[in-house]
Amino acid sequence: VGTPTFMAPEAFDGVSSVASDVYSLGVSFYTLLAGSAPFGGDPGTGILDMAAMLAAKKELGAAGDLTPV
């Protein structure tokens, strides 16, 4: 759980790891150095759209693993 701008995409699925923390730290450093979040637009909206897109790709990818009959 966290602020959507700083959350790793996989965290929206309830999965977190050390890589999620590294992602959040990278976004924090970028924001400190650049003065804005790495993703434009309304804070959180872009990241939520990206998370939805990744979830859709994951489901489509699962269907691609099936062998044709």
* Average pLDDT over the chain, rounded to an integer: 76
Identify the CA nearest to 55 among candidates 4, 11, 6.
11
As to burial, measured by CB atoms within 10 angstroms (0-12 exposed, 13-18 middle, 19+ buried), residue 46 is: middle
pLDDT at 8: 82
8 A C-beta contact, residue 4 and residue 27: no
pLDDT at 10: 79
Give Cα separations from 44 to 6, 26, 51, 57, 65 (angstroms).
8, 16, 10, 20, 32
Total-model pTM? 0.59
